[in-house]
Amino acid sequence: GAVVSQHPSWVICKSGTSVKIECRSLDFQATTMFWYRQFPKQSLMLMATSNEGSKATYEQGVEKDKFLINHASLTLSTLTVTSAHPEDSSFYICSARDLGLAGVTYEQYFGPGTRLTVT
């Protein structure tokens, strides 16, 4: 079945540094990728929707200058957490939707997540 990969799977960084997380769709093309964040014992919260070749759409309350999203190809989206702080420590999960046939909506596939710890 469809597979979405994320890299790295976990990262520890110092406060003030930037961290880049990659999300790849491995056997399908994804026009749309989604970035979620999940704090312990909380629900997944959509941060932004990323469409290939265009600017990402951010959810209310998510700083676009802090969470930079680039979706340069149909199989790769990146999320960069700039000037990370301890409160950014979380589980970041990407999701990709199959391009599929016109007018047909396919399932969203989730990546395995990236656990970010900022010290």
| Binding interface with other proteins (CB under 8 A) | 32, 34, 41-46, 49, 91, 93, 97, 105-108, 110-113, 115
> Among residues 7 and 82, whose Cβ is nearest to other proteins?
7
Taking CA 8 as the corner, what is the angle to CA 21 and CA 100, rounded to the nearest 5 degrees?
65
CB of 39 to other proteins, least distance (A): 10
> Among residues 15 and 42, whose Cβ is nearest to other proteins?
42
CB of 82 to other proteins, least distance (A): 24
3-class SS of residue 86:
helix
Measure Cα distances from 3 to 26, 29, 76, 80, 107 in Å: 6, 11, 13, 22, 12
